[in-house]
Chains A and B, each alone.
Chain A
């Protein structure tokens, strides 16, 4: 039987607000253990949670970036369970009344067709403390680091709209792009500021039932999410094929062995309205103000780059994916460089060079004005593309201007017809056979002659002008 996979994601995103969710402690979980703590996030007796407006602002902006409807009223619940990483025996989360509902993101499916994936809801949640397990002599001990306790999260719960690992990975990439644009979270799965769990079930292709799902956790990259989903689809298909049942449970992805292994059934505790954190009210005025702060999002930017700048769609897609990169491109265009020239150079020359050096457009020496100056030299035909590539690499090493480097290295392009003409005359004189062949109609000979002239100019001659001169002289 042919099966179809039904996939939904639950994604935790750590907001990058300056403070924790219910107190003023710095939101820096990686600091020296237990240095960012206070009576509230340690939940000492008599403490009362003080919900941060800044956190709400970040959360609302994140939801808006994911096309969600903000709920005017939402509330916190207590997710009750006992674990040493939870200092009060419950986690403050929004179970019954989440902050936002009905969002969506557009992706391209594996045939390149546009596909809209829906978000069921987004709720706010505090993170829990971190447990460190060690041994002291022969005794196993568990240490608790409360720096992460109370760090603000949003949890994004999708509809089960995904049908393949491709869909899920594209969704995560689109989500990351949108939120990074908003600037409210870093969204790095590798460093744990974004965590994604996948719910997977199979059904006979063409039917519309929902079968028992299995949750897979512990993926530390978008790639790993894809691998884990593929593996889980195979595992379930094999089970169903063998006439075995699928059992509702949670599995852990093992990135070393590329398999999922069952984990003990996680206890699902109750969710009780919290009596201490008041109802969250997002007024219409405030929501309007926040909507006014939304930047141009990647999809809009991509469309604008195609329509107004005349870029190809894949160029526009590449440049709009990262807000900084898009800004860089627009600055270079702002210096008078034709958009497609700027786009091609940034995408195929600058971006790989940055990656190689572990730099980003915001921390590199190759600033937009220097890049624009370099490209202007190419545009004015003072520099060949080949030489410009050479100079681009030097721009990473020195703060000299591109034209200064060009002069210093003497690799400016010879576009002066007089100079090129005498150069060409010498070549023609030295290769009478080739001239003869050319006159007889052997087009190849022209390439040879121009090549010889280029060689004589040590690569500096403008090949286009050489071509024209050759035509004039012997054509």
Chain B
């Protein structure tokens, strides 16, 4: 019988080496992260029966630090959104300390909420993407789900750092994840984006306000900031993301691996039919959209790239006013685990895709912005490469003695 949660599971006896900074830490991953010999289908028929030939760079680093990767969980098609993603459910039954979920528009932060975990997305370019089967090269990062900010920090210390094989990485200036959280410079001011706040409904806004108040109680001053272009984040992410995805998915041609439609008469037909059968409706729509910008509206794509730059500059200016920016991680609707249109996809991730478009680090904290039985998450975004202040913030406001999170 097919496992409904896992695509691969190591036998329970396989333990770590017992040494290293992550000795004994149990990590779940998704099957879009290559582990030699493990199936790596990335939730897609386009990669049917594909088995990884080599370990991904961050898998090498996790192993080297003594972590145990206990299995990979079912995931959404090519990691676009969370439809079909089983990370949260697996964390509920599997005694894992952390999970790694690729964060392209907020998936790791959103999935963490569903598990009641913290979700952390690092700055772009500090973790190697070698061996990550992604869709949007300029926006994706490995995201870490954990209950403990210390574990997030330790995992980041292990998996970040230079890798000569990934040329899109920084070559220097990596954040230091080895200093203890208490030593991190404390967050003094947090900015709330009124232009984002105004898009929430009254109850969502109230839940978010309550969470922000929790920060104020810790002595963080809250400042309201204007960002009139905020609604552009999802639009620009959508244009650039779909263009990159359309190119990235070009390799799924059924020539070397993956599903090949039977009974076709020539290669052109083989291509078309195989791709037709391999992609689901939402991915297909997104790839079509990317191809549209590439082939028929390139100027709009060029505009989007220019606006991306402007949004990045504007965001950086906001960090003159505040140490971090606060937003909810998500709105109550739609449910990112049940998406079937690109429109719904961007509604689900409209508050989280900003960090991916700008490459900035972000963390989602559970249990602070709740609404009925739903957790909207409190999301904090830090300036590029200021990653460690986010787990430090998490530690500050989620002290186990206050009972709102595990140690």
- CB of B244 closer than 8 Å to a CB of A: yes
Taking CB atoms and an 8 Å cut-off, the chain A residues in 270-299 that contact chain B are 270, 272-278
Contact at A275–B250, with CB atoms within 8 Å? no
Contact at A44–B53, with CB atoms within 8 Å? yes
Give A40 to B298 CA distance when docked, in angstroms: 28
A278's nearest neighbour on chain B, judged by CB, is: B167
B294's nearest neighbour on chain A, judged by CB, is: A270
- Assess A45 versus B165: contact at CB under 8 Å? Given A39-B53, A84-B255, A90-B247: no
Contact at B255–A44, with CB atoms within 8 Å? no
Give A49 to B267 CA distance when docked, in angstroms: 26
Contact at A46–B250, with CB atoms within 8 Å? no
Contact at B167–A142, with CB atoms within 8 Å? no
Taking CB atoms and an 8 Å cut-off, the chain A residues in 75-109 that contact chain B are 78, 80, 82, 84, 87-90
Which residues of chain B have C-beta atoms less than 8 A from A364's C-beta? none
Contact at B247–A46, with CB atoms within 8 Å? no
- The smallest beta-carbon distance between B239 and chain A, in angstroms, is 12
B131's nearest neighbour on chain A, judged by CB, is: A46
- Assess A80 versus B247: contact at CB under 8 Å? Given A87-B256, A270-B294, A270-B298: yes
Among A46, A269, A274, contact of B52 (Cβ-Cβ < 8 Å): A46
- CB of A263 closer than 8 Å to a CB of B: no
- CB of B73 closer than 8 Å to a CB of A: no
Which residues of chain B have C-beta atoms less than 8 A from A144's C-beta? 255
- Assess A276 versus B168: contact at CB under 8 Å? Given A39-B53, A80-B294: yes
A129's nearest neighbour on chain B, judged by CB, is: B255
Contact at A275–B168, with CB atoms within 8 Å? yes
- The proximity string for B residues 247-267 relative to A, scoring 1 for CB distances below 8 Å and 0 otherwise, is 101110101110000000001
- The smallest beta-carbon distance between B169 and chain A, in angstroms, is 9
Give A90 to B138 CA distance when docked, in angstroms: 17
Give A356 to B244 CA distance when docked, in angstroms: 57
- How many A residues have CB within 8 A of the partner chain? 30
Taking CB atoms and an 8 Å cut-off, the chain B residues in 288-339 that contact chain A are 294-295, 298, 301, 305
- The smallest beta-carbon distance between B288 and chain A, in angstroms, is 14
- Assess A78 versus B247: contact at CB under 8 Å? Given A50-B165, A276-B137: yes
Which residues of chain B have C-beta atoms less than 8 A from A142's C-beta? 267
Contact at A44–B253, with CB atoms within 8 Å? no
- CB of B203 closer than 8 Å to a CB of A: no
- The smallest beta-carbon distance between B278 and chain A, in angstroms, is 13
- Assess A275 versus B244: contact at CB under 8 Å? Given A45-B42, A87-B256: yes
Contact at B256–A44, with CB atoms within 8 Å? yes
B296's nearest neighbour on chain A, judged by CB, is: A270
- The smallest beta-carbon distance between B105 and chain A, in angstroms, is 15
- Assess A278 versus B253: contact at CB under 8 Å? Given A46-B56, A90-B247: no
A82's nearest neighbour on chain B, judged by CB, is: B271
- The smallest beta-carbon distance between B268 and chain A, in angstroms, is 8
Contact at A269–B133, with CB atoms within 8 Å? no
- The smallest beta-carbon distance between A42 and chain B, in angstroms, is 6
Among A87, A270, A273, A274, contact of B251 (Cβ-Cβ < 8 Å): A87
- Assess A278 versus B267: contact at CB under 8 Å? Given A44-B256, A45-B50, A273-B305: no
- Assess A90 versus B250: contact at CB under 8 Å? Given A45-B50, A46-B34, A84-B267: yes
- CB of A430 closer than 8 Å to a CB of B: no
- CB of B132 closer than 8 Å to a CB of A: yes
- The proximity string for B residues 164-195 relative to A, scoring 1 for CB distances below 8 Å and 0 otherwise, is 11111000000000000000000000000000
- CB of B196 closer than 8 Å to a CB of A: no
A274's nearest neighbour on chain B, judged by CB, is: B247
Contact at A88–B250, with CB atoms within 8 Å? yes
- The smallest beta-carbon distance between A376 and chain B, in angstroms, is 57
- CB of B40 closer than 8 Å to a CB of A: yes
Contact at B167–A50, with CB atoms within 8 Å? yes
Which residues of chain B have C-beta atoms less than 8 A from A318's C-beta? none
- CB of A474 closer than 8 Å to a CB of B: no
Contact at B137–A275, with CB atoms within 8 Å? yes
- The proximity string for A residues 37-55 relative to B, scoring 1 for CB distances below 8 Å and 0 otherwise, is 0010011111111110000
- The smallest beta-carbon distance between A282 and chain B, in angstroms, is 16
B56's nearest neighbour on chain A, judged by CB, is: A46
- Assess A49 versus B133: contact at CB under 8 Å? Given A90-B250, A269-B295: no
Give A47 to B168 CA distance when docked, in angstroms: 12
- The smallest beta-carbon distance between A48 and chain B, in angstroms, is 5
- CB of B269 closer than 8 Å to a CB of A: no
Give A313 to B373 CA distance when docked, in angstroms: 92
Among B133, B168, B271, contact of A278 (Cβ-Cβ < 8 Å): B168
Contact at B247–A89, with CB atoms within 8 Å? yes
B167's nearest neighbour on chain A, judged by CB, is: A278
- Assess A82 versus B167: contact at CB under 8 Å? Given A45-B133, A276-B137: no
Give A48 to B57 CA distance when docked, in angstroms: 11
Contact at A275–B256, with CB atoms within 8 Å? no
- CB of B47 closer than 8 Å to a CB of A: yes
- Assess A80 versus B267: contact at CB under 8 Å? Given A46-B56, A48-B130: no
Contact at B40–A46, with CB atoms within 8 Å? yes
- CB of B121 closer than 8 Å to a CB of A: no
Taking CB atoms and an 8 Å cut-off, the chain A residues in 406-459 that contact chain B are none
Give A90 to B4 CA distance when docked, in angstroms: 36
- CB of B237 closer than 8 Å to a CB of A: no
Which residues of chain A have C-beta atoms less than 8 A from B251's C-beta? 43, 45, 87-89
Give A315 to B111 CA distance when docked, in angstroms: 78
- The smallest beta-carbon distance between A275 and chain B, in angstroms, is 4
Among B167, B246, B249, B257, contact of A48 (Cβ-Cβ < 8 Å): B167
Contact at B54–A39, with CB atoms within 8 Å? yes
Give A275 to B164 CA distance when docked, in angstroms: 17
Contact at A42–B267, with CB atoms within 8 Å? no
- The smallest beta-carbon distance between B69 and chain A, in angstroms, is 16
A277's nearest neighbour on chain B, judged by CB, is: B167
- The smallest beta-carbon distance between B6 and chain A, in angstroms, is 20
Give A42 to B256 CA distance when docked, in angstroms: 8
Give A276 to B295 CA distance when docked, in angstroms: 20
- CB of B243 closer than 8 Å to a CB of A: yes
Which residues of chain B have C-beta atoms less than 8 A from A51's C-beta? 167
B134's nearest neighbour on chain A, judged by CB, is: A46
Which residues of chain A have C-beta atoms less than 8 A from B234's C-beta? none
- CB of B86 closer than 8 Å to a CB of A: no
Most B CB within 10 A of own CB, among A50, A88, A275: A275
- CB of B26 closer than 8 Å to a CB of A: no
- CB of B129 closer than 8 Å to a CB of A: yes
- The smallest beta-carbon distance between A230 and chain B, in angstroms, is 36
Give A90 to B247 CA distance when docked, in angstroms: 7
Give A278 to B125 CA distance when docked, in angstroms: 12
A276's nearest neighbour on chain B, judged by CB, is: B137
Taking CB atoms and an 8 Å cut-off, the chain A residues in 11-57 that contact chain B are 39, 42-51
Among B40, B246, B271, contact of A45 (Cβ-Cβ < 8 Å): B40
28 chain-A/chain-B pairs, Cβ below 8 angstroms: A44-B257, A45-B47, A45-B50, A45-B251, A46-B34, A46-B52, A46-B54, A46-B132, A46-B133, A48-B165, A48-B167, A49-B167, A50-B167, A80-B250, A80-B294, A80-B295, A82-B253, A84-B253, A87-B251, A87-B255, A88-B250, A88-B251, A89-B247, A270-B298, A272-B247, A275-B138, A276-B137, A278-B168
Contacts A46-B34, A46-B133, A51-B167 known; list 8 others, CB within 8 Å: A44-B256, A45-B251, A45-B257, A48-B129, A87-B255, A272-B294, A273-B305, A276-B137
Q: List residues of A whose CB falls within 8 A of some B CB.
A: 39, 42-51, 78, 80, 82, 84, 87-90, 142, 144, 269-270, 272-278
Q: List residues of B whose CB falls within 8 A of some A CB.
A: 34, 40, 42, 47, 50, 52-54, 56, 129-133, 137-138, 164-168, 243-244, 246-247, 249-251, 253, 255-257, 267, 271, 294-295, 298, 301, 305
